[in-house]
Chains A and B, each alone.
Chain A
Amino acid sequence: MSTRILDVENLVAGYIPEVNILNGCNVHVDAGEFVGIIGPNGAGKSTLLKALLGMCGVREGTVHLNGENVTGKKAHELIPLGVGYVPQTNNVFPSLTVKENLEMGCFLNPKVFTHRLDVVMDMFPKLRERASQKARGLSGGERQMVAMGRALMLEPSLLLLDEPSAGLSPALQDEVFLQCRRINKTGVAILMVEQNARRCLQVAGRGYVLDQGKNAYTGTGRELLNDPNVIELYLGSLSRATGG
Protein backbone atom coordinates (compact mmCIF):
# COMPACT_ATOMS: atom_id res chain seq x y z
CA MET A 1 0.00 0.00 0.00
CA SER A 2 1.64 3.17 -1.14
CA THR A 3 1.23 6.39 0.75
CA ARG A 4 -0.53 9.32 -0.79
CA ILE A 5 1.69 12.37 -0.98
CA LEU A 6 -0.63 14.80 -2.67
CA ASP A 7 -4.40 14.73 -2.65
CA VAL A 8 -6.35 17.47 -4.39
CA GLU A 9 -10.12 17.31 -4.01
CA ASN A 10 -12.74 19.32 -5.88
CA LEU A 11 -10.43 22.25 -6.37
CA VAL A 12 -12.08 25.46 -7.59
CA ALA A 13 -9.66 28.30 -8.28
CA GLY A 14 -9.13 31.37 -10.45
CA TYR A 15 -7.46 34.74 -10.73
CA ILE A 16 -10.27 37.26 -11.21
CA PRO A 17 -13.27 37.32 -8.85
CA GLU A 18 -16.14 35.14 -10.05
CA VAL A 19 -14.16 33.69 -12.96
CA ASN A 20 -13.15 30.15 -12.13
CA ILE A 21 -10.42 28.46 -14.15
CA LEU A 22 -10.53 25.21 -12.19
CA ASN A 23 -14.03 23.86 -11.64
CA GLY A 24 -13.70 20.96 -9.26
CA CYS A 25 -10.49 19.23 -10.22
CA ASN A 26 -9.32 16.01 -8.51
CA VAL A 27 -5.73 14.86 -8.67
CA HIS A 28 -3.65 12.63 -6.44
CA VAL A 29 -0.03 11.53 -6.42
CA ASP A 30 1.29 8.55 -4.45
CA ALA A 31 4.83 8.24 -3.10
CA GLY A 32 7.30 7.65 -5.92
CA GLU A 33 4.68 8.02 -8.63
CA PHE A 34 5.13 9.82 -11.95
CA VAL A 35 1.93 11.61 -12.93
CA GLY A 36 1.41 13.61 -16.10
CA ILE A 37 -1.28 16.21 -16.77
CA ILE A 38 -2.26 17.09 -20.31
CA GLY A 39 -5.18 19.03 -21.72
CA PRO A 40 -6.25 21.67 -24.23
CA ASN A 41 -5.13 25.31 -24.04
CA GLY A 42 -6.87 27.15 -21.26
CA ALA A 43 -7.87 23.88 -19.53
CA GLY A 44 -6.29 25.07 -16.28
CA LYS A 45 -3.12 22.97 -16.21
CA SER A 46 -0.73 25.72 -15.14
CA THR A 47 -3.42 27.17 -12.86
CA LEU A 48 -3.59 23.85 -11.05
CA LEU A 49 0.13 24.03 -10.23
CA LYS A 50 -0.22 27.66 -9.19
CA ALA A 51 -3.21 26.87 -6.97
CA LEU A 52 -1.20 24.11 -5.29
CA LEU A 53 1.51 26.63 -4.50
CA GLY A 54 -0.85 29.32 -3.20
CA MET A 55 -0.15 31.55 -6.20
CA CYS A 56 -3.80 32.02 -7.08
CA GLY A 57 -7.05 32.11 -5.13
CA VAL A 58 -8.47 28.77 -4.04
CA ARG A 59 -12.26 29.14 -3.65
CA GLU A 60 -13.38 25.63 -2.83
CA GLY A 61 -11.86 22.23 -2.31
CA THR A 62 -8.83 21.03 -0.40
CA VAL A 63 -5.18 20.21 -0.94
CA HIS A 64 -3.57 17.66 1.37
CA LEU A 65 0.16 17.05 1.47
CA ASN A 66 1.21 13.90 3.34
CA GLY A 67 -2.16 14.00 5.11
CA GLU A 68 -1.82 17.60 6.25
CA ASN A 69 -4.26 20.20 4.99
CA VAL A 70 -2.19 22.78 3.11
CA THR A 71 -4.96 24.47 1.11
CA GLY A 72 -3.95 28.01 0.18
CA LYS A 73 -0.50 27.78 1.80
CA LYS A 74 2.21 29.77 0.07
CA ALA A 75 5.22 28.36 -1.75
CA HIS A 76 7.69 29.21 1.04
CA GLU A 77 5.57 27.24 3.52
CA LEU A 78 5.30 24.24 1.19
CA ILE A 79 8.95 23.89 0.25
CA PRO A 80 10.04 22.85 3.78
CA LEU A 81 7.29 20.22 3.56
CA GLY A 82 9.05 18.56 0.64
CA VAL A 83 7.70 20.23 -2.50
CA GLY A 84 9.97 21.31 -5.35
CA TYR A 85 8.66 23.48 -8.20
CA VAL A 86 10.08 24.28 -11.62
CA PRO A 87 8.21 27.14 -13.33
CA GLN A 88 7.72 27.13 -17.08
CA THR A 89 9.82 30.15 -18.08
CA ASN A 90 12.32 32.48 -16.48
CA ASN A 91 13.29 29.73 -14.11
CA VAL A 92 16.97 30.50 -13.51
CA PHE A 93 18.79 33.56 -12.14
CA PRO A 94 20.69 34.64 -15.27
CA SER A 95 23.25 36.81 -13.49
CA LEU A 96 24.25 34.06 -11.04
CA THR A 97 26.55 31.14 -11.78
CA VAL A 98 25.23 27.60 -12.01
CA LYS A 99 26.57 26.85 -8.54
CA GLU A 100 24.98 29.99 -7.09
CA ASN A 101 21.68 29.08 -8.72
CA LEU A 102 21.82 25.71 -7.02
CA GLU A 103 22.73 27.39 -3.75
CA MET A 104 19.52 29.44 -4.02
CA GLY A 105 17.68 26.14 -3.90
CA CYS A 106 19.03 25.64 -0.37
CA PHE A 107 17.91 29.06 0.79
CA LEU A 108 15.69 27.60 3.50
CA ASN A 109 18.33 25.17 4.78
CA PRO A 110 21.87 26.22 3.76
CA LYS A 111 23.52 23.52 5.89
CA VAL A 112 22.76 20.77 3.41
CA PHE A 113 24.33 22.66 0.48
CA THR A 114 27.68 20.86 0.15
CA HIS A 115 26.15 17.43 0.45
CA ARG A 116 23.22 18.03 -1.91
CA LEU A 117 25.40 19.86 -4.44
CA ASP A 118 27.33 16.62 -4.93
CA VAL A 119 24.15 14.57 -5.28
CA VAL A 120 22.58 16.96 -7.79
CA MET A 121 25.76 17.31 -9.81
CA ASP A 122 26.06 13.55 -10.00
CA MET A 123 22.56 13.55 -11.41
CA PHE A 124 23.40 16.26 -13.98
CA PRO A 125 27.11 15.84 -14.83
CA LYS A 126 26.88 18.73 -17.31
CA LEU A 127 26.22 21.14 -14.45
CA ARG A 128 29.50 20.16 -12.83
CA GLU A 129 31.39 21.19 -15.99
CA ARG A 130 29.54 24.49 -16.03
CA ALA A 131 29.50 25.17 -12.29
CA SER A 132 31.24 28.54 -12.44
CA GLN A 133 29.56 29.75 -15.62
CA LYS A 134 26.76 32.37 -15.50
CA ALA A 135 23.33 30.89 -16.15
CA ARG A 136 22.79 33.59 -18.78
CA GLY A 137 25.17 31.87 -21.19
CA LEU A 138 23.55 28.45 -20.96
CA SER A 139 21.44 26.85 -23.68
CA GLY A 140 17.73 26.24 -23.12
CA GLY A 141 18.26 22.61 -22.19
CA GLU A 142 21.05 23.41 -19.75
CA ARG A 143 18.91 26.07 -18.06
CA GLN A 144 16.13 23.54 -17.63
CA MET A 145 18.66 21.26 -15.90
CA VAL A 146 19.75 24.08 -13.59
CA ALA A 147 16.10 24.80 -12.71
CA MET A 148 15.41 21.14 -12.01
CA GLY A 149 18.64 20.75 -10.09
CA ARG A 150 17.74 23.73 -7.95
CA ALA A 151 14.31 22.29 -7.17
CA LEU A 152 16.02 19.06 -6.09
CA MET A 153 18.45 20.71 -3.66
CA LEU A 154 16.19 20.34 -0.63
CA GLU A 155 15.50 16.68 -1.39
CA PRO A 156 11.79 17.08 -2.16
CA SER A 157 9.44 14.13 -2.03
CA LEU A 158 7.29 15.73 -4.73
CA LEU A 159 8.48 17.68 -7.76
CA LEU A 160 6.06 19.92 -9.69
CA LEU A 161 7.10 20.58 -13.29
CA ASP A 162 5.38 23.11 -15.58
CA GLU A 163 6.07 22.22 -19.22
CA PRO A 164 9.75 21.33 -18.84
CA SER A 165 10.15 20.66 -22.59
CA ALA A 166 8.74 24.00 -23.79
CA GLY A 167 10.90 25.71 -26.39
CA LEU A 168 13.53 22.98 -26.58
CA SER A 169 14.77 21.22 -29.70
CA PRO A 170 13.56 17.62 -30.21
CA ALA A 171 16.84 16.13 -29.01
CA LEU A 172 16.83 18.26 -25.85
CA GLN A 173 13.15 17.55 -25.17
CA ASP A 174 13.87 13.84 -25.27
CA GLU A 175 16.80 14.37 -22.93
CA VAL A 176 14.60 16.29 -20.46
CA PHE A 177 11.94 13.56 -20.45
CA LEU A 178 14.51 10.84 -19.88
CA GLN A 179 16.06 12.96 -17.15
CA CYS A 180 12.66 13.28 -15.45
CA ARG A 181 12.32 9.52 -15.55
CA ARG A 182 15.77 9.14 -13.95
CA ILE A 183 14.83 11.60 -11.19
CA ASN A 184 11.61 9.70 -10.58
CA LYS A 185 13.56 6.43 -10.32
CA THR A 186 15.52 7.90 -7.41
CA GLY A 187 12.25 7.97 -5.48
CA VAL A 188 11.02 11.51 -6.11
CA ALA A 189 7.34 11.67 -7.04
CA ILE A 190 6.68 13.92 -10.05
CA LEU A 191 3.60 15.84 -11.14
CA MET A 192 4.25 17.15 -14.63
CA VAL A 193 2.15 19.44 -16.80
CA GLU A 194 3.06 19.04 -20.46
CA GLN A 195 2.10 20.11 -23.94
CA ASN A 196 4.17 17.35 -25.55
CA ALA A 197 1.41 14.97 -24.58
CA ARG A 198 2.74 11.79 -26.15
CA ARG A 199 6.16 11.98 -24.58
CA CYS A 200 4.57 12.97 -21.27
CA LEU A 201 2.29 9.94 -21.22
CA GLN A 202 5.15 7.70 -22.35
CA VAL A 203 7.29 8.58 -19.34
CA ALA A 204 4.50 9.02 -16.78
CA GLY A 205 3.01 6.01 -15.05
CA ARG A 206 -0.39 7.63 -14.80
CA GLY A 207 -2.00 10.62 -16.44
CA TYR A 208 -4.92 13.01 -16.28
CA VAL A 209 -6.54 14.84 -19.15
CA LEU A 210 -7.95 18.16 -17.92
CA ASP A 211 -10.62 19.97 -19.87
CA GLN A 212 -12.34 23.21 -18.83
CA GLY A 213 -10.94 22.97 -15.33
CA LYS A 214 -12.16 19.44 -14.64
CA ASN A 215 -10.87 15.91 -15.04
CA ALA A 216 -11.92 14.57 -18.44
CA TYR A 217 -9.99 11.28 -18.56
CA THR A 218 -7.74 9.40 -16.16
CA GLY A 219 -5.69 6.29 -16.68
CA THR A 220 -2.21 4.86 -17.03
CA GLY A 221 -0.05 6.54 -19.62
CA ARG A 222 -0.44 3.59 -21.95
CA GLU A 223 -4.24 3.50 -21.58
CA LEU A 224 -4.55 7.19 -22.38
CA LEU A 225 -2.19 6.92 -25.36
CA ASN A 226 -4.45 4.25 -26.82
CA ASP A 227 -7.83 5.72 -25.84
CA PRO A 228 -9.62 6.70 -29.08
CA ASN A 229 -11.43 9.59 -27.34
CA VAL A 230 -8.20 11.03 -25.99
CA ILE A 231 -6.54 10.67 -29.40
CA GLU A 232 -9.48 12.31 -31.15
CA LEU A 233 -9.96 15.20 -28.72
CA TYR A 234 -6.51 15.74 -27.52
CA LEU A 235 -3.50 13.85 -28.84
CA GLY A 236 -4.24 14.17 -32.52
CA SER A 237 -3.03 11.51 -34.89
CA LEU A 238 0.29 13.00 -35.91
CA SER A 239 2.85 10.82 -34.31
CA ARG A 240 5.70 10.31 -36.68
CA ALA A 241 8.44 12.02 -34.73
CA THR A 242 7.59 10.93 -31.22
CA GLY A 243 6.83 7.29 -31.85
CA GLY A 244 3.03 7.05 -31.42
Chain B
Amino acid sequence: MTPVSRVVSEAVPGAPKQDPILVVDGLRREFGGLVAVDIAHLEVQRGAITALIGPNGAGKTTAFNLMSGFDTPTAGSSSFDGHITSEVSGHRLAQLGMVRTFQLTRVLTRLTVLENMMLGAVNQIGERPWTSPFKPLWAKQDEQIRERAEELLVRFKLDHVKNEYAGNISGGQRKLLEMARALMVEPKLVMLDEPMAGVNPALKQSLLGHVKNLQAEGMTVLFIEHDMDMVHEIADWVMVMAEGRLIAEGTPDQISNNRAVVDAYLGEHQGTSFLEDA
Protein backbone atom coordinates (compact mmCIF):
# COMPACT_ATOMS: atom_id res chain seq x y z
CA MET B 1 0.00 0.00 0.00
CA THR B 2 1.84 3.04 -1.25
CA PRO B 3 0.79 6.27 0.37
CA VAL B 4 -0.71 8.91 -1.87
CA SER B 5 2.28 11.04 -2.65
CA ARG B 6 2.22 14.51 -1.12
CA VAL B 7 4.96 15.57 -3.44
CA VAL B 8 4.11 16.98 -6.81
CA SER B 9 7.34 17.09 -8.71
CA GLU B 10 9.13 15.74 -11.69
CA ALA B 11 11.23 12.65 -11.05
CA VAL B 12 14.52 14.25 -12.01
CA PRO B 13 17.43 14.99 -9.65
CA GLY B 14 17.19 18.49 -8.19
CA ALA B 15 13.60 19.04 -9.31
CA PRO B 16 11.91 22.09 -7.71
CA LYS B 17 9.14 21.51 -5.11
CA GLN B 18 6.04 23.57 -4.46
CA ASP B 19 6.90 24.60 -0.91
CA PRO B 20 10.43 23.54 0.03
CA ILE B 21 11.45 23.59 3.71
CA LEU B 22 15.06 22.73 2.92
CA VAL B 23 16.97 23.99 -0.11
CA VAL B 24 20.48 22.90 -1.01
CA ASP B 25 22.50 24.81 -3.59
CA GLY B 26 25.89 23.84 -5.02
CA LEU B 27 26.69 21.98 -1.81
CA ARG B 28 30.18 20.56 -1.80
CA ARG B 29 32.33 19.01 0.91
CA GLU B 30 35.87 17.84 0.32
CA PHE B 31 38.07 15.86 2.70
CA GLY B 32 41.58 16.36 1.34
CA GLY B 33 41.34 15.24 -2.27
CA LEU B 34 38.13 13.28 -1.75
CA VAL B 35 34.86 14.91 -2.78
CA ALA B 36 32.36 13.43 -0.30
CA VAL B 37 29.36 15.52 -1.30
CA ASP B 38 28.66 17.40 -4.51
CA ILE B 39 24.98 18.23 -4.83
CA ALA B 40 24.05 20.82 -7.46
CA HIS B 41 20.52 21.40 -6.22
CA LEU B 42 18.07 19.64 -3.92
CA GLU B 43 14.74 20.63 -2.44
CA VAL B 44 12.77 18.90 0.31
CA GLN B 45 9.00 19.35 0.23
CA ARG B 46 7.40 20.70 3.42
CA GLY B 47 4.99 18.28 5.10
CA ALA B 48 6.25 15.26 3.19
CA ILE B 49 8.22 12.22 4.29
CA THR B 50 11.36 12.07 2.18
CA ALA B 51 13.83 9.19 2.22
CA LEU B 52 17.50 9.54 1.34
CA ILE B 53 19.03 6.26 0.21
CA GLY B 54 22.25 5.18 -1.44
CA PRO B 55 25.15 2.73 -1.18
CA ASN B 56 27.57 2.73 1.77
CA GLY B 57 29.96 5.63 1.39
CA ALA B 58 27.69 7.60 -0.96
CA GLY B 59 27.90 10.68 1.27
CA LYS B 60 24.43 10.53 2.81
CA THR B 61 25.52 11.18 6.37
CA THR B 62 27.96 13.88 5.26
CA ALA B 63 25.12 15.57 3.37
CA PHE B 64 23.00 15.26 6.52
CA ASN B 65 25.76 16.85 8.58
CA LEU B 66 25.94 19.77 6.16
CA MET B 67 22.19 20.26 6.00
CA SER B 68 21.86 20.19 9.78
CA GLY B 69 24.74 22.60 10.35
CA PHE B 70 27.00 20.03 12.04
CA ASP B 71 29.58 20.46 9.34
CA THR B 72 30.60 23.40 7.18
CA PRO B 73 30.53 23.00 3.41
CA THR B 74 33.63 23.60 1.28
CA ALA B 75 31.33 25.47 -1.10
CA GLY B 76 27.63 26.13 -1.53
CA SER B 77 24.90 26.31 1.05
CA SER B 78 21.95 24.60 2.64
CA SER B 79 19.06 26.62 3.99
CA PHE B 80 16.26 25.69 6.35
CA ASP B 81 13.23 27.96 6.17
CA GLY B 82 15.45 30.70 4.82
CA HIS B 83 18.23 30.31 7.42
CA ILE B 84 21.64 29.19 6.15
CA THR B 85 22.29 26.20 8.41
CA SER B 86 26.07 26.51 8.57
CA GLU B 87 25.73 30.07 9.90
CA VAL B 88 23.27 29.33 12.69
CA SER B 89 24.34 27.63 15.92
CA GLY B 90 23.02 24.18 16.82
CA HIS B 91 20.76 25.25 19.68
CA ARG B 92 19.33 28.07 17.59
CA LEU B 93 18.47 25.64 14.80
CA ALA B 94 16.67 23.45 17.32
CA GLN B 95 14.70 26.48 18.49
CA LEU B 96 13.86 27.28 14.86
CA GLY B 97 12.46 23.77 14.55
CA MET B 98 15.13 21.58 12.99
CA VAL B 99 16.30 18.53 14.85
CA ARG B 100 18.31 15.46 13.89
CA THR B 101 19.40 12.10 15.21
CA PHE B 102 22.65 10.23 14.66
CA GLN B 103 23.50 6.90 13.12
CA LEU B 104 25.76 6.09 16.08
CA THR B 105 23.65 7.04 19.03
CA ARG B 106 24.61 9.92 21.26
CA VAL B 107 22.72 9.49 24.48
CA LEU B 108 23.97 10.75 27.82
CA THR B 109 24.87 7.45 29.41
CA ARG B 110 25.04 8.64 33.02
CA LEU B 111 21.58 10.17 32.99
CA THR B 112 18.43 8.10 33.19
CA VAL B 113 16.26 7.54 30.14
CA LEU B 114 13.67 9.96 31.49
CA GLU B 115 16.30 12.62 32.23
CA ASN B 116 17.65 12.25 28.69
CA MET B 117 14.16 12.89 27.38
CA MET B 118 13.48 15.91 29.57
CA LEU B 119 16.74 17.48 28.52
CA GLY B 120 15.49 17.47 24.94
CA ALA B 121 12.73 20.04 25.51
CA VAL B 122 13.58 23.59 24.39
CA ASN B 123 12.81 26.93 26.06
CA GLN B 124 12.86 25.52 29.58
CA ILE B 125 12.41 28.29 32.13
CA GLY B 126 14.40 26.30 34.67
CA GLU B 127 17.43 26.38 32.39
CA ARG B 128 17.84 30.17 32.65
CA PRO B 129 20.33 31.27 35.26
CA TRP B 130 18.09 33.97 36.76
CA THR B 131 15.05 31.74 37.17
CA SER B 132 16.59 28.37 37.95
CA PRO B 133 16.96 28.97 41.74
CA PHE B 134 13.21 29.58 42.09
CA LYS B 135 11.43 26.30 41.69
CA PRO B 136 7.85 27.70 41.71
CA LEU B 137 8.67 29.57 38.49
CA TRP B 138 9.41 26.41 36.54
CA ALA B 139 7.82 23.55 38.47
CA LYS B 140 4.66 23.62 36.36
CA GLN B 141 6.51 23.60 33.04
CA ASP B 142 8.77 20.86 34.34
CA GLU B 143 5.71 18.77 35.12
CA GLN B 144 4.35 19.31 31.58
CA ILE B 145 7.70 18.31 30.11
CA ARG B 146 7.76 15.20 32.27
CA GLU B 147 4.27 14.24 31.13
CA ARG B 148 5.17 14.72 27.48
CA ALA B 149 8.38 12.72 27.99
CA GLU B 150 6.54 9.84 29.64
CA GLU B 151 3.90 9.83 26.93
CA LEU B 152 6.60 9.57 24.25
CA LEU B 153 8.40 6.82 26.20
CA VAL B 154 5.18 4.79 26.19
CA ARG B 155 4.81 5.24 22.44
CA PHE B 156 8.40 4.12 21.92
CA LYS B 157 8.03 1.20 24.33
CA LEU B 158 10.71 2.55 26.65
CA ASP B 159 8.50 3.30 29.67
CA HIS B 160 9.67 0.18 31.53
CA VAL B 161 13.29 1.37 31.43
CA LYS B 162 12.65 5.06 32.12
CA ASN B 163 14.61 5.03 35.39
CA GLU B 164 17.55 3.03 34.00
CA TYR B 165 20.76 4.81 33.12
CA ALA B 166 20.80 5.30 29.36
CA GLY B 167 24.20 3.55 29.36
CA ASN B 168 22.54 0.32 30.53
CA ILE B 169 19.91 -0.07 27.83
CA SER B 170 20.52 -2.03 24.63
CA GLY B 171 21.76 -0.57 21.35
CA GLY B 172 18.32 -0.71 19.74
CA GLN B 173 16.71 0.93 22.73
CA ARG B 174 19.23 3.78 22.57
CA LYS B 175 18.20 4.29 18.97
CA LEU B 176 14.60 4.62 20.07
CA LEU B 177 15.56 6.95 22.90
CA GLU B 178 17.33 9.22 20.46
CA MET B 179 14.32 9.43 18.20
CA ALA B 180 11.96 10.03 21.12
CA ARG B 181 14.26 12.72 22.52
CA ALA B 182 14.35 14.50 19.16
CA LEU B 183 10.57 14.74 19.28
CA MET B 184 10.72 16.50 22.66
CA VAL B 185 11.80 19.54 20.64
CA GLU B 186 8.43 19.56 18.83
CA PRO B 187 10.27 20.23 15.59
CA LYS B 188 9.09 21.36 12.16
CA LEU B 189 11.67 19.22 10.42
CA VAL B 190 12.95 15.93 11.83
CA MET B 191 16.07 14.45 10.26
CA LEU B 192 16.66 10.81 11.14
CA ASP B 193 19.92 9.05 10.30
CA GLU B 194 19.15 5.34 9.92
CA PRO B 195 16.41 5.37 12.54
CA MET B 196 15.50 1.73 12.09
CA ALA B 197 18.96 0.16 12.05
CA GLY B 198 19.05 -2.25 14.96
CA VAL B 199 15.33 -1.94 15.72
CA ASN B 200 13.41 -5.22 15.58
CA PRO B 201 10.86 -5.62 12.78
CA ALA B 202 7.66 -5.70 14.86
CA LEU B 203 8.55 -2.56 16.80
CA LYS B 204 9.68 -1.02 13.52
CA GLN B 205 6.19 -1.42 12.18
CA SER B 206 4.61 0.37 15.12
CA LEU B 207 7.21 3.14 14.87
CA LEU B 208 6.38 3.60 11.21
CA GLY B 209 2.83 4.37 12.25
CA HIS B 210 4.26 6.87 14.66
CA VAL B 211 6.38 8.56 11.99
CA LYS B 212 3.25 8.86 9.83
CA ASN B 213 1.51 10.51 12.76
CA LEU B 214 4.30 13.07 12.89
CA GLN B 215 3.46 13.92 9.34
CA ALA B 216 -0.23 14.15 10.20
CA GLU B 217 0.74 16.59 12.96
CA GLY B 218 2.38 18.78 10.32
CA MET B 219 6.02 17.80 10.66
CA THR B 220 8.37 17.25 7.75
CA VAL B 221 10.49 14.12 7.95
CA LEU B 222 13.76 13.48 6.12
CA PHE B 223 15.44 10.18 6.84
CA ILE B 224 18.39 8.08 5.72
CA GLU B 225 17.57 4.41 5.59
CA HIS B 226 18.69 1.10 4.13
CA ASP B 227 15.46 -0.62 4.98
CA MET B 228 13.47 -0.59 1.75
CA ASP B 229 10.38 -1.93 3.54
CA MET B 230 10.33 1.24 5.57
CA VAL B 231 10.95 3.39 2.52
CA HIS B 232 8.08 1.79 0.61
CA GLU B 233 5.75 1.92 3.57
CA ILE B 234 6.05 5.56 4.56
CA ALA B 235 8.06 7.65 2.14
CA ASP B 236 6.27 10.03 -0.20
CA TRP B 237 9.44 10.77 -2.05
CA VAL B 238 12.84 9.13 -2.37
CA MET B 239 16.20 10.70 -3.17
CA VAL B 240 19.15 8.55 -4.16
CA MET B 241 22.79 9.50 -3.66
CA ALA B 242 25.82 7.75 -5.10
CA GLU B 243 29.43 8.90 -5.02
CA GLY B 244 28.45 12.19 -3.41
CA ARG B 245 25.91 13.17 -6.06
CA LEU B 246 22.16 13.11 -6.21
CA ILE B 247 21.58 10.56 -8.97
CA ALA B 248 17.81 10.10 -8.87
CA GLU B 249 14.63 11.13 -7.14
CA GLY B 250 11.03 10.07 -7.42
CA THR B 251 8.25 8.12 -5.74
CA PRO B 252 9.24 4.81 -4.09
CA ASP B 253 7.85 2.84 -7.04
CA GLN B 254 9.64 4.97 -9.61
CA ILE B 255 12.89 4.45 -7.70
CA SER B 256 12.43 0.67 -7.33
CA ASN B 257 12.17 0.41 -11.08
CA ASN B 258 15.06 2.72 -11.84
CA ARG B 259 17.73 0.55 -13.43
CA ALA B 260 20.65 2.68 -12.21
CA VAL B 261 19.39 2.50 -8.62
CA VAL B 262 18.89 -1.26 -8.76
CA ASP B 263 22.43 -1.72 -10.07
CA ALA B 264 24.11 0.70 -7.68
CA TYR B 265 22.14 -0.03 -4.56
CA LEU B 266 19.22 -2.39 -4.33
CA GLY B 267 20.84 -5.44 -5.89
CA GLU B 268 19.23 -8.16 -7.94
CA HIS B 269 17.77 -10.13 -5.01
CA GLN B 270 15.15 -7.59 -3.94
CA GLY B 271 11.79 -9.20 -3.36
CA THR B 272 13.10 -12.75 -3.62
CA SER B 273 13.38 -15.26 -0.83
CA PHE B 274 16.60 -17.03 0.13
CA LEU B 275 14.76 -20.08 1.45
CA GLU B 276 16.17 -23.09 -0.33
CA ASP B 277 13.82 -25.15 -2.51
CA ALA B 278 11.32 -22.33 -1.93
Across-interface contacts of A140 in B (CB, < 8 A) = 56-57
| Chain B residues near A38 (CB-CB < 8 A) | 200
Contact of A41 among B199, B208, B274 (CB under 8 A): B199
**Given A16-B168, A41-B176, A235-B202, A243-B273 contact (CB < 8 Å):** yes
Q: Which residues of A contact B273 (CB under 8 A)?
A: 202, 242-244
Residue of B nearest to A44 (CB): B170
Highest count of chain B CB atoms <10 Å: which of A166, A197, A232, A241: A241
B269 at the interface (CB under 8 A from A): yes
Contact B198–A42 (Cβ < 8 Å) = no
Complex contact B56–A41 (CB within 8 A): no
Residue among A172, A199, A239, A240 having the largest count of chain B Cβ atoms under 10 Å:
A240
Map CB proximity to B onto A195-211 as digits: 1 under 8 Å, 0 otherwise.
10111001100000000
The interface-forming segment of A4-12, A98-106, A174-182 is: A174-182
Q: How far is the CB of B52 from chain A (nearest CB, A)?
A: 13
For B272, the closest partner residue in chain A by CB is: A243
Within 8 A of B (CB), among A116-174: 139-141, 163, 166-174
Check if A232 sits within 8 Å of B202, measured CB to CB. yes
Whether B267 lies near A41 (C-beta < 8 A) is: no
Which B residue sits closest to A171, measured CB to CB? Answer: B267
Q: Does A59 contact B (CB under 8 A)?
A: no
Tell me the nearest residue of chain B to A39, going by C-beta.
B200
Q: Given A140-B56, A235-B202, A238-B201, is A170 in contact with B271 using a C-beta cutoff of 8 Å? A: no
Decide yes or no whether A84 CB sits under 8 A from chain B.
Answer: no
Are the C-beta atoms of A240 and B232 separated by less than 8 Å? yes
Asked if A166 and B271 make an inter-chain contact with CB atoms under 8 angstroms apart, the answer reads no
CA distance A153 to B230 in the complex (A): 37
**A232 surroundings in chain B (CB, below 8 A):** 202
On chain B, the residues within 8 Å of A169 by CB distance are: 54-56, 226, 265, 267
Most chain B CB atoms below 10 A, which of A140, A173, A175, A243: A243
Residues in A with CB closer than 8 Å to B249 are: none
Q: In the complex, A238→B204 CA distance in Å? A: 10
Q: B208 contacts which chain A residues (CB < 8 A)?
A: 238
Contact flags A219-244 to B (C-beta < 8 A → 1, else 0): 00110010000001111111111111
Q: Which residues between 257 and 278 of chain B lie within 8 Å of chain A, taking CB atoms?
A: 265-275, 278
Q: Contact between A41 and B226 (Cβ–Cβ < 8 Å)?
A: no
| B107 close to chain A: CB less than 8 A | no
B38 interface hit (Cβ, 8 Å): no
Give Cα distance in the complex from A169 to B263, angstroms.
Answer: 12
The answer to whether B271 and A181 have CB atoms under 8 Å apart is no
B203: chain A residues at CB < 8 Å are 40-41
Q: Does B88 contact A (CB under 8 A)?
A: no
The reply on B21 being an interface residue by CB < 8 A is no
- A147–chain B nearest beta-carbon distance, Å: 15
Task: Name A42's contact: one of B169, B205, B226, B230 (CB within 8 Å).
Answer: B169
Q: Chain B residues near A243: list those with CB within 8 A.
A: 269-274
Residue B159 interfacial (CB < 8 Å) = no
Known: A202-B273, A222-B275, A234-B202. A139 touches B56 (CB 8 A): yes
Partner of A234, one of B57, B200, B269, B272: B200
Asked if A23 CB lies within 8 Å of chain B CBs, one says no
Could you list 20 A-B pairs, sorted by A, with CB under 8 Å? A41-B198, A42-B172, A42-B173, A46-B171, A140-B57, A167-B194, A168-B56, A169-B56, A170-B226, A170-B265, A172-B55, A174-B274, A178-B274, A202-B275, A233-B202, A235-B201, A236-B201, A238-B230, A241-B229, A243-B273
